[in-house]
Structure 1
Amino acid sequence: MAFHTLKQGSFLVVLILAISQTLNAGDPDIISDFLIPANVTIVGSNFFTYTGFRVLVDVDPPTTFKVTKASMAEFPALNGQSVSFAVLQYPAGSVNPLHTHPRSAELLLLLDGSLEVGFVDTTNKLYTQTLQPGDMFVFPKGLIHYQYNRDGQDPALAISSFGSANAGTVSVPGTVFATGIDDDILVKSFKTDDATVQKIKAGLASKA
C-alpha cells in the first residue's frame, strides 16, 4: 500500500510539473485586458495602432536582407498579448542567416517570389522546403532555422507571426563569432585553425 501511494504521489508530482512547464512555455498571462506602460498617461485608439510598416509602402526594395519588426519594443500595446509580427525582405540571392527564436515558434507566409526555408531538430535532422507565394511554413520554437532566396534575379517578400510579444532572435554566426568567445575554444569546437576563425570574424565584421 505504501509503495502504491508513493507511486501515485510521484505521478502527481510529475503531472503537476509537466502542466506547470506547459503553462509557463509562452508569455505570462495577464489579469487585465491590456498592460499600460508607466510612461503612458492617456490610452486611446492610437495606443493600439502601429504605423511602423508604412515605411515599406511604395519604396524600392532593399539591397540586403531586411527585417522590419512589430514586437513589444516597437509596439508597446503588444505587451501581454503573446503576439508579434515581422516583414521580411529578401533581395535576389540573399539569406536570413541561421538563427533561433528562444521564446516562440515562427509562422511564415510567403507573399512574393520563392524562398528556400529549413530548420534542424534536436536529432540533427534537417527539414527543408521551397515555398511559393501563398505557402506557409512553421519553424518550431527554439530550433535553428534559415530562409534563403536562391533566385539570383528576383526578390522575395514574406511576413512572419510569433506567439510572443518578444520572441527574441539569437543569430548563430553573431553569437558564436562576435561575442568574445575565446579563439582557442572556437578552434577546438569547430575542429579548425585560428586563421579560419579570424577569417570568419573578419567577414562578419565587414558586413556589420
Structure 2
Amino acid sequence: MSSGITSAKKPPKRKGGRPLLSEVIKIDARILVAATALFLENGVDGTTFEAIASKAKVSKPTLYARYSSKSELFEAMIRSNVASAMPSVTDLPNGLSTEETLRLVGQKMIEEATKPIPLGLMRLYITESSRHGTLIREVDYIGREAAVAMISKALEPTLNYEADHHARLIAEKFIDIAFIPYLMRRLLGDTESSLNLRIDEAILCLKALGLLN
C-alpha cells in the first residue's frame, strides 16, 4: 500500500568510462601547474614523470596518456605559461596622454614579466635552448608579439594619425629600450636597477625619435 509520500530520486551514480570535460580540464591544469613548479625547482633533467604525477595527484598512466615524453610536457608547459603571461589593461583611467598611457601599461607589463615565476621560466628557457631551440625562439616571438599588441591596443585611442602603425612603433621601441635591458639585469640577479629610471630613459629616447611629440 502506498504511503502517499514520494521520495526524491537521487541522481544516478556515474559509472566507469570517459571523464567529464570539466574533470579533464582540471586534471590538465594540475599537471601543468605541477610540471611548472618541479621544472623550476629541479630543472627538466632533475624532474621525473613520477614526481609530476605525484604532485599533480594523478596516476602515471593518466600522465603518459597526455604526454609521451618530458619534452612534450615541457613544450605544453611553456605554451600554457606564455598564453597567460600578459596582464589586463582594461582598467586604465580615461583622458590619459600617450606618454602617461605608455608609462602605466609599460610598467605593469614589466612588473608582471619580472615576478619570480616568469623570471624562473625565462632562466629555464635559456637552460633548455640547446635542446628546444626552435620552440624557445617561437615562444620568444609569441611573447614579444603579445607584449607589442597589448601596449599598442592601449596607445591607439591616444593617437590620431595612423594610430595602429604609430602605436606599434612606440611599443616595439619601448620594449627594446626599456623592457629587454631591465629584464636582462633582473635575469642576472640585479635587484637594484630602477624600473622608473629605465622607463624615463625610454620616454626620452622615444621623444628624441619624434614618436611621442
TM-score under structure 2 normalisation?
0.22
Q: Which has the larger radius of gyration?
A: 2
Structure number having the greater helix percentage: 2
Which structure carries more strand by proportion? 1
Q: Whose RCO is larger (CA < 8 A, sep 6+)?
A: 1
Report the TM-score, using the length of structure 1 for normalisation: 0.23
